[in-house]
Structure 1
Amino acid sequence: MPSNEQLAEQLDPATTVLLTVECQQGVVGQDSALPELAKEARSSGVLRNVARLVAGAHETGVQVLHAVAERRPDGRGANHNARLFRAAARLPVQQLSGTTAVRVAEPIEVWDEDFVVRRLHGLSPLAGTDVDALLRNLGCRNLLVTGVSANIAIPNAVFDAVNLGYTAVVPSDAIAGVPSDYAHAMVRNTLALVATITTTDAVLACWKGPWRGAQG
């Protein structure tokens, strides 16, 4: 874990963007296509922690970007080159454009100032989407990555962020995967090698500390 001073420097609101990954109703909501993942995200407190971070970002002036995965009803442009995509196409709940399944799930609040970036293909919220260009135009240097899943999308987001030159910061209690202990193993054995690992409380403490005084 970084020191409070190091973390505060990395989380400067002027150069930080908070990314929520696939925190949508059809993934982590009550009527999820992936009920085991939704249960883990909710029962572990991960979804609540993401909501706390989003609220803290809104209060502090940190830009929030919600990355949503969806597909067209006709499936055009979607991937079919992996078992995961083929299985997803057969699920009873589909992440179809314009449906409630692709709306950001409660208790996360979406403000008018937030960006919502939707992707129709692939595994990563960064690769092949508008996210990288938006981050650069916003002056982002540090990307705070939250959401699901630690199995697929979260490591993809972290690796892509690092490859693109951003510093990735991961609150370990704001990401979820299945089985329940998988996220911990992913953080310990993989993400800790390429990202700054922290906690929700530590992030919120930084935003309530030195920057509050500087902005006041």
Structure 2
Amino acid sequence: MAAYQRLGDLLDPASTVLLTVECQRGVVGPDAAQPELARAARSSGALGNVARLVAAAHRGGVQVIHAVAERRPDGRGASRNARLFRAAERLPVRQLSGSTAVRIAPPVEVAEEDLVVRRLHGLSPLGATGMDALLRNLGCRTLVVTGVSANVAIPNAVFDAVNLGYTAVVPADAIAGVPADYTAAMIRHTLSLVATITTTDELFGRLAPPRRGRPQ
């Protein structure tokens, strides 16, 4: 009960932002660049849970930000200082600006009031993307991190959030990586040390509290 109350204290709609990380067609869609990761996000239910949380945030008036990774067709400004970046250049599906691959993937819905933050370089959606300034201007204190991948972008986002002074909340069943047992181990042994770990069901009602019926 104490943990439940603590979670509730963190989730003031006025100071909470729900972040989706790389929930884009070219990453988690049916024709994704890395089919194994896309299958993990869908078969585990993580992508569906992200969609549920986004819908709840929309109903509850909680700000949603979608973080998208992309690159220019000419590659200008893109990072090349890690194997991951060089491998991405050879994938059959590339996350090119303006292409279908960088659109948010169903069933996650994008509302008019949502913000979409795009990055052309690096590993973190909070690293030199302008997101920190957006979060501060929104009055954010708690950042709920969802999406992919548990291998790279999610831990980067959580660490950056903590380093920047935000409280990070991670619904364990709304993130995915490969292999699945690595995701569970990373949550248990790493993210749990720096973030509040919860579930989609625990967050759902808090993001969108049930409406009270009219008195009889």
- On whether the aligned pair clears a TM of 0.5, the verdict is yes
> 1:172 Cα deviation (Å)?
0.2
1:3 equivalent in structure 2: 3
Runs of 4+ in 1 over 4 A off after TM superposition: none
1:2 deviation in Å?
6.3
Partner of 1:101: 101
Say if 2:68 and 2:102, in contact at 8 Å, map to a contact too. yes
1:114-153 map, 5 Å: 114-153=114-153
For the pair 1:71 / 2:67, whether they are aligned, the reply is no
Aligned length: 212
Q: Give the corresponding residue for 2:26.
A: 26
What is aligned with 2:159?
A: 159
Residues 60 and 212 in structure 1, CA contact (< 8 A), matched pair in contact too: no
Contact kept, 8 Å, 1:7 with 1:206, in 2: the verdict is no
Distance 2:121 2:23 in 1: 17
| 1:169 aligned counterpart, secondary structure | strand
| Alignment of 1:177 onto 2:177 | yes
Matches of 1:38 and 1:22 in 2, distance apart? 11
CA distance in 2, matches of 1:169, 1:2: 16
SS in 2 for 1:151: coil
Q: Secondary structure at the match of 1:190?
A: helix
Structure 1 runs not aligned, ≥5 long: none
Q: Secondary structure at the match of 2:68?
A: strand
Q: What is the 5 A alignment of 1:34-49? A: 34-49=34-49
> Which residue identity is paired with 1:55?
A
SS of aligned partner of 1:147: strand
For 2:112, the equivalent position in structure 1 comes to 112
Q: CA deviation at 1:205?
A: 2.4
CA distance in 1, matches of 2:146, 2:207: 16
Deviations 1:149-186 (A, max 9, x none): 00000000000000000000000000000011111111
Q: Secondary structure at the match of 2:17?
A: strand
Is the 2:59–2:208 contact (alpha carbons within 8 Å) kept by the matching residues of 1? no
What amino acid is the match of 2:69? Answer: A
Distance 1:90 1:35 in 2: 15
* Aligned residue type for 1:48: G
1:120: Cα distance to partner? 0.2
- For residues 202 and 114 of structure 1, what CA distance do their matches in structure 2 show? 22
> How far apart are 1:110 and its partner, in Å?
0.1
Q: Give the Cα–Cα distance (whole angstroms) in 2 for the partners of residues 64 and 5 of structure 1.
A: 23
* TM-score between both structures, scaled by the size of structure 1: 0.96
Equivalence for 1:57: 57
SS in 2 for 1:3: helix
Give structure 2 stretches of 5+ with no counterpart. Answer: none
Question: Which residue is equivalent to 1:194?
Answer: 194
- Measure, in 1, the Cα distance between the counterparts of 2:2 and 2:26: 35
Among the aligned pairs, what percent are the same residue?
74
